[in-house]
Chains A and B, each alone.
Chain A
Amino acid sequence: MNPLQARELVIDIPGRSSGQPLNFTVGPGEIWGVLGPNGVGKTTLLHTLAGLRPPRSGSVHLGGHSLVEWKRRQVSQQLGLVFQDRQDGFPATVLETALIGRHPWLSPWQMESAEDVGKARAALEALDVGQLRDRLVNTLSGGERQRVAIATVLTQSPDTWLLDEPTNHLDLHHQVAVLGLLRARARKGCSVFMCLHDLNLAARWCDHILLLFPGGEACWGESRQMLVPGALERLYGQKLRTAEIDGAPVFVPAGNSDPQSS
């Protein structure tokens, strides 16, 4: 397994000054959460790590070699990306959509085999959308489409998962199911790197956190060390109240109307 590594990485957002260079490695079995306010560049970071956008400076490495040294096909066998926005392409069924996840594994002359179809169907079942497999994707609800997108990457079964707000549109039950699935993948040796807007999900499910501050600073490390109220309040510009449930911290915005102000 080739771990994903950022070396002195500065992402490129046109019109914005460079942020702090990022240096981290997403090791096997690790689940990373990226936290930061809207517009700070979480999606751009994800796309840069996936090789879809060039960085402003620094580099992204897979297993010690820079991304640009790898063939595209090999990269997509190791890196999978769940996008935040659904791009509306041509209409296709749910099964067809999941099946494109097998593209990096098939040579141009190969047709999808029954085994490939089986993998796609299994992935759809795992995301609880198996029964929708012959439906057209654009007739699905937001949550269903999100799960199809995740199933596509599951079909792709890369070693490293990059996810952009995977719990958007999902109800509580499916949020837990998806994160549980990701934890199961991590236990098998995959790495997970996801952007989350929900602080508490990150606190509960991620073992490493990357904080992207509005000014361009960043810090990263184990969750224990990153999830301190001071840093988080600075991150979101919002006073927080902390509690602990089942051994994991829970953060709640402190409102002015809170009768129990201390």
Chain B
Amino acid sequence: MPGYSRALAVLAALSLVCMALSVSVGSASLSVGDTFAVLTGTGTPIQQTLVLELRLPRTLTGFATGGLLAVAGALMQVLLRNPLADPYVLGLSGGAAVGALLAMMAGVAGAVVSGSAFAGALLATFLVFGLAHGTGSWTPSRLLLTGVVVAAGWGALIALILAMSPARQLPGMLYWLMGDLSPAANPVPGLILLTLVCLLVFPLGRSLNVLARGPMQAAALGVSVRPLEWTIYILASLLTATAVTMAGSVGFVGLVVPHMLRLVLGNDQRLILPACAMAGGSLLVLADTLARVVIAPEQLPVGVITALLGVPTFLYLLYRSR
């Protein structure tokens, strides 16, 4: 338990460093002094706009998205008792994608695309919930199978939309599918949700640990297994829906971050979940900084970078832990 505070403090520091880096680095070069000046209220109008209206919201959105996805991934892995689960395994991102792409195809503006994505995500959640619930005997593998099939269905719809859209809309759609932080989203709901979930972890955390040992074992120790599983499902879905609404379907963060942290920090969900929030946030902020800088003034979608960063990091950690 004492190691927990230390680990969390380190991650908190890492988060702050990554966010500071993200705010001061970009295609427009701003020295540390200038950045600080802006944050304390001075600086030219263009600098102020740059930092306060462009970079800061984007950094916060990136942090919230990364944190939400990592926590959702950790929760999914506990729920399905499967280390290969990620937040999208139950078809959530597929539903959100269909919502977003349909909105783009109809040519509507940014806020409607986000709302449409959220609606699609919720629809996907209820669809899988209903299908897996309705047949009586419910197990994680049944939920997983239902989710995978539904996800494939969404995939087919996405392919259809891509095939039928006019060519000029394709770059926008592809960027959404890869995960992109440039549409200016509001980070506040995401950050609030992330904080709430991290607080919720304390009363729920040990039950999650027990649940992770097996449902029968958990029931024998007094855990109300079914309600807890549905709570995790709804929570993970809400987190993922929020994340996907902000930044499209950013891949890898939800799969790799919980894994990495478990290899290093063990299995106590009370430590892992808040650690995921901070590590996931840091990773995404870092990835987005790279995405904005690597071919400046052009930029890449952040999902490309998370994939490229995530894979070798994970392989390295696996190799080390042997």
Contact = CB atoms under 8 A, between A and B. Distances in A.
Interface of A: 47, 50, 52, 72-73, 75-77, 79-81, 83, 87-93, 96-97, 100-101, 103-104, 106, 108-109, 111-112, 156
Interface of B: 1, 77-78, 81, 83, 202-204, 206-207, 209-210, 212-217, 219-224, 266-268, 270
26 contacts: A50-B220, A52-B219, A76-B220, A76-B221, A77-B222, A83-B216, A83-B217, A87-B217, A88-B214, A89-B212, A89-B217, A92-B212, A92-B213, A93-B266, A96-B209, A96-B266, A96-B267, A96-B268, A97-B213, A101-B221, A103-B223, A108-B204, A108-B206, A108-B207, A109-B203, A156-B221
Contacts of A91: 267
Name which of B202, B222, B267 has the most chain A CB atoms within 10 A of its CB.
B222
A52 B216 contact: yes
B1 A112 contact: yes
Nearest to A99: B209
B206 A52 contact: no
B220 A80 contact: yes
Nearest to A112: B1
A81 B214 CA distance: 13
Given A52-B219, A91-B267, A92-B267, A100 B224 contact: no
Contacts of A88: 214
A52 B213 contact: no
B130 to A, nearest CB: 25
Contacts of B78: 90
Contact of A90 (B1, B203, B213, B220): B213
Which 5 pairs show the lowest CB-CB distances between chains A and B? Answer: A87-B214, A76-B222, A108-B203, A89-B213, A90-B212
Contacts of A75: 222
Contacts of A101: 221
Contact of B202 (A52, A87, A103, A109): A109
Contacts of A156: 221
Given A52-B219, A89-B212, A97-B213, 8 more contacts: A47-B216, A73-B222, A81-B220, A87-B217, A90-B267, A93-B266, A103-B223, A111-B1
A111 B220 CA distance: 20
Contact of B223 (A72, A77, A87, A96): A72
Nearest to A72: B222
Contacts of A111: 1, 270
A111 B210 CA distance: 14
